[in-house]
Chain A
Amino acid sequence: MGTYILRRLLWTVVLLFFVTALTFLIFNVLPTADPAKLRAGRNQTPETVAAIRDQLNLDDPFLTRFFSYLGDLLFHFDFGTSVLNDEPVRPLIFEALPNTLMLVLGAAVVWFVIGVVIGTISAVKRGSILDRVAMTTALVAISAPVYWLGLVALYLFSSDLGVLGLFPAAGTYDASRGVFTSISSLFLPWLVLAAAFSAIYARLLRSNLLETMSEDYIRTARAKGLKERTVVFKHGLRSAITPIITVLGLDIGILLGGAILTESVFGIPGIGRLSFDAIQRNDIDIVQGATLFLALGVCTMSLLVDVLYAFLDPRVRY
C-alpha cells in the first residue's frame, strides 16, 4: 500500500509537469493577444510595449521562459503575475479557493444525499409511479443548463427579484461576513450546482443497487431471515454505494478547478469566476494558474479516492 501511494505520487508529479508544459505551450506559443500590449494600457507606444516585453522577458526563447516559470512554481510556489493589474496570481487563487471549496463541498453533500436517497427509493420501488416520477425529474435536471437553472432559481427564490424571496440574492455572498451569513447565501447556488449531479447520482445509484439486489449474496441475506430493510441498507447499499464514492471524489476534484457557470450566475468570487474573468481579459497567468490548480485537484482527489476504495472494498489491494 505504501509503495502504491508513493508510486501514485510520483506519477502525479510527472502528470502535473506535463499539464504545466502543455498549458504553458498553449498560452505562450499559440497565437493569443500579446501580453505586453495588454499590459501597456490604453495610451501605448511601441516603446512602452517593448519595454514591457523586456521586463516580462517575453523575448527570451520559449524554453528559457518555461523553465523560469517552472522554477518559480517549484521553488517559490509562484504562479506568476497577472499581466493586467500586476498582482501575483497565487494570492488571487488562494482568496478564491475557500469560496469555491464552500460552494463545491456544500453542493457535494447536497447532491450525494439527494442522489442516494432518491436512487435507493427508486431502486426499491422499481417500476412504481414514484420511481418513474423520480427518473423523469432526473432526466430534466440533467438536461437543464446550469445557467438557466440558476436564473430560474433566482427568479423564483432570491430576495430581490424572486417571486418567493426565500434566499439571499445573487452577489450577496461574502465570506468575510461570517459562516452563517455565507451559508444562507450559498443555499441557492448549492441547489443549482447539485441539481444535475443529484440526478446523475440518483440514476447511477439506482442502477447499481438494482444490479446488486440480484446478486447471490442478497439472496443469502434474505435466506438468513433478515428484514428487507436490513437486506437493502446493510447488504445492498454497501456494495452499490462504493463505486459512487469514486465518482464523487473525481467530481469534487474537477469542480475545485471552479464551477464557472454557477459562480458566475450567483456572483461568487471563486476560482471559476476568477478564470472566467481572466479568460475574457486574456490574463494568461491567471488562466494558467487556475488550470494547474484544476489538474492538482483532480490528481489529489483521484489518489485519495483510490486509497479510500481499498478501505471500502477489502478485495482491492495494491
Chain B
Amino acid sequence: MAHGDPLIEVRDLVKHFPITKGLIRAKQVGAVQAVDGVSFDIREGETLGLVGESGCGKSTTARLLTRLLDPTSGTIEFRGKDIASLSRKELKPFRRDMQMIFQDPYSSLNPRKTVGSIISEPFIIHEPSVGEKDRKCRVQELMEQVGLNPEHYNRLPHEFSGGQRQRIGVARAIALKPKLIVADEPVSALDVSIQAQILNLLRDLQRELGLTIVFIAHDLSVVRHMCDRIAVMYLGRVVELAGADELYNHPRHPYTGALLSAVPVPDPRLAKAKVRQVLTGDVPSPTNPPSACRFHTRCPKVVMGKCDVDDPALDPKEGGNLAACHFPLSDREVATQVPTAAA
C-alpha cells in the first residue's frame, strides 16, 4: 500500500454514553453525545492531529479507533475491513497493528512489574512462540531505540523520571511494529524541557518505522509541530479538517480562529499585536447540545435563523480547508485575531 493511501476510513462514527433512570428496569432518558457523527481518513504514514478542548470527544474518538470502546454506530475501516463491529476475538489480529500511548506515564505502567516485563508483554500476548532469551534481546533493542539504557531492564517504573516513563510507554507501543499509533496527550504531563525529547522521539520513530500516528493534544502549538493534517473537534463533531499549514495560516471555522487566538504566544510583540478573540461562556453540555451548528451559541459570527436551524456540512472552503460553517472566517479577520498566521 502506497504512502498517502487511507489506512483507516472513519465514517459517521457515533458514541453515545446512555444516561439511565427508572425504578426497576433502567430506561434510557438521554445520552452524553461524546462523539456524534465523525468522518475522516487517516492516511498511511501521516500524522493526523485531533485537537479540541476537554469534552470535545477527541479522547473518546481515540479509544473508538483502537476499539477500547465500542462505537454506538458508524464504521471504522482498517485497510478496507470494518472493525467497528468486530468481537474481541476477531479484533485480536488487528490489535497488534494499533497501539496507544497514554497521557499519564505514571498511572499507565504497572508499578510492580519491571520495565523489561512491561515492554515484553506485547510479545507474550501476540507472539508467544518467541523464546525468553530472544524476547529479552528484542526488548533491550527497543529500549535502546527509544533512548533508554538497556541495562535498566530489571528496574521498576518508579525508578524512572516522567520523561523516561513515557519512553517506556513508547517502547511498549512500538514493540510489535504496529501500523498505527494513537497517542493521547503524550506530553501534557511532562515538564516543558522534557516534552521536546518525547516529541522528537516520536517523529524519529515515525520516520524509521513508517508509522501512521493519530496525535491527540489540547496544545495547539504542539499539534502544529507534529501533524500533517489536523481535525478540530467541538462537542463531538469535527468542525474543521485541513492540512497543518492551511489550518494555521488561514483557519476558516470561527472556533478554530478563537482557539488559535487564545494560544499565548511567547513573543511579547506578537502578543501585543493581536486582538484576542475571547469566547464567552462555557462549552455547552454534551447531553443537550445546541441545535444545528453546535458552536452557534458562542460563535462571534453567528447569524440567528441560519446557524441555529441549518446544520452546516464539512465542506471545502477558500484555501482548501474543510470547515463546517456557513460564514467562514476571511483572511482579514484571521490577520487581526491570529497574528501568528502567515496569511
Instruction: List residues of A whose CB falls within 8 A of some B CB.
Output: 3, 6-7, 10
Contacts and interface: CB of A to CB of B under 8 A. Distances in A.
Interface string B19-55: 0011110000000000000000000000000000000
Contacts of A10: 23-24
Q: Chain A binding site: helix, strand, loop or mixed by DSSP?
A: helix
A7 B23 CA distance: 6
8 contacts: A3-B21, A3-B22, A3-B23, A6-B23, A7-B23, A7-B24, A10-B23, A10-B24
B111 to A, nearest CB: 20
Nearest to A11: B24
Interface size, B (range): under 10
Contacts of B22: 3
Contacts of B21: 3
A6 B22 CA distance: 10
A35 to B, nearest CB: 38
Nearest to A6: B23
Contacts of A7: 23-24
Interface in B153-203: none
A10 B23 CA distance: 9
B103 to A, nearest CB: 21
A7 B26 CA distance: 11
A3 B26 CA distance: 12
A6 B23 CA distance: 7
A162 B11 CA distance: 84
Interface in B60-77: none
Q: Which 8 pairs show the lowest CB-CB distances between chains A and B?
A: A7-B23, A3-B23, A6-B23, A10-B24, A7-B24, A10-B23, A3-B21, A3-B22
A181 B23 CA distance: 48
Contacts of A6: 23
Contacts of B23: 3, 6-7, 10
Nearest to A7: B23
A10 B22 CA distance: 13
B22 to A, nearest CB: 8
Nearest to B26: A7
A142 B119 CA distance: 45
Interface in B238-270: none
B27 to A, nearest CB: 12
A6 to B, nearest CB: 6
